[in-house]
Each structure stands twice: as C-alpha cells, then as structure tokens.
C-alpha cells in the first residue's frame, strides 16, 4: 500500500509540477507554484515509497510510458528555450532601456494619426476589390 501511495504522490507531484512549469506561457503564477508542488510532493512520495521498501519510486517509473515522457519533455522544451534566450538576451535588453524614454514623445507625435484609424479601417473594409464591396453577379438591379 505504501508503494502505491508513494508512486501516486510521486507521479502527481512530478506531472503537476511539470505541467505548471510548462504552462507559464498562459498562467504567470505557475512558475511560483510549480517548485512548491514538486518540493512537497516528491519527498512525500519518496517517504511513502520507502515505507514499503523503495517500491514507490519503481512503481512511479513503471507507470510512465514513452508517450508521457515525450509529452513532458516537449512541454519543457519551450521553457528551456525561453530560459536560454532570457540569459543570452539580457545584456542586449539593457541597451533598449534608454529607448523607453522616447515612447511618451512618440505617442504624442502619433496621437493625431490614431484618430484616423477608424476611418482607415472603414476604408480598407469597404474599398473597391474587398469582399464587402463587390457586387454579386447573380443579383440584378430589381433584386432577382
């Protein structure tokens, strides 16, 4: 019984942790939650597995199949790429900070053009050649 509970705790901690880490693209709090989940559940699983003679860890490894492992690794790949790029691009991002001071004057300069955007959208939507402006050949002038 200990090995079964230990294996379940290990598997739950492992996959919930990996899933939370991999889903940081959509939920920013997952990065803070995932290490806590893994830090709590993995030792719990090891302790429960140890009660029954280290079989919890073996049950956890036996319960994994190649699809689950590949899925977990494929979810970690974007995280690895993002981490590497963040480390590599950090010096270059510090060079862009002075450009942020230019954004307020640029916004003031472009403000009159923002008022033209609705008219431009209407023009593009109803301009000759768009799908909305073309006449249907099957319709005649009297609607038949």
**pTM of the entire predicted model:** 0.24
Identity of the highest mean pLDDT range in 46-60, 61-75, 88-102: 88-102
Q: What is the pLDDT of residue 42?
A: 61
Q: What is the pLDDT of residue 1?
A: 46
pLDDT (mean) for 10-14: 59
pLDDT in tens, 84-138: 666 676 676 666 666 666 677 777 777 777 777 777 677 666 666 655 555 555 5
> What average pLDDT does the chain have?
61
Q: Where are the alpha helices (DSSP H) in the chain?
A: 2-22, 30-51, 55-63, 66-100, 103-114, 117-126
Copy the structure tokens of residue 132: 């909305």
What's phi and psi for 137, nearest 5 deg? -65, -20
CB 49, CB 59: distance < 8 Å = yes
Which of 24, 44, 25, 45 has its CA nearest to residue 34?
24
CB 9, CB 39: distance < 8 Å = no
Rounded distance, CA 141 to CA 144, Å?
Answer: 7
Copy the structure tokens of residue 30: 């997952």
More confident residue, 81 or 20: 81
Q: What is the pLDDT of residue 110?
A: 73
Rounded distance, CA 113 to CA 121, Å?
Answer: 13
Q: What is the dihedral of CA 52, 55, 56, 59, to 10 degrees?
A: -140
Please report which confidence band the pLDDT of residue 10 belongs to, taking 50, 70 and 90 as the band edges: low
């Amino acid at each position: 019984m200990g090995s079964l509970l230990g294996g379940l705790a290990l598997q739950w901690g492992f996959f919930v942790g990996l899933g939370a880490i991999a889903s940081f693209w959509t939920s920013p709090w997952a990065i803070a939650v995932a290490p806590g989940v893994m830090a709590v559940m993995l030792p719990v699983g090891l302790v429960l597995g140890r009660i029954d003679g280290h079989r919890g860890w073996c049950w956890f490894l036996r319960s994994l199949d190649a699809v689950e492992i590949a899925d977990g690794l494929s979810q970690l790949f974007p995280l690895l790429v993002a981490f590497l790029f963040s480390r590599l691009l950090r010096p270059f991002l510090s060079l862009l900070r002075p450009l942020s001071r230019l954004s307020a004057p640029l916004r003031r300069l472009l403000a009159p053009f923002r008022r033209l955007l609705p008219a431009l959208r209407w023009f593009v939507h109803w301009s000759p050649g768009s799908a909305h402006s073309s006449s249907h050949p099957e319709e005649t002038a009297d609607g038949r």
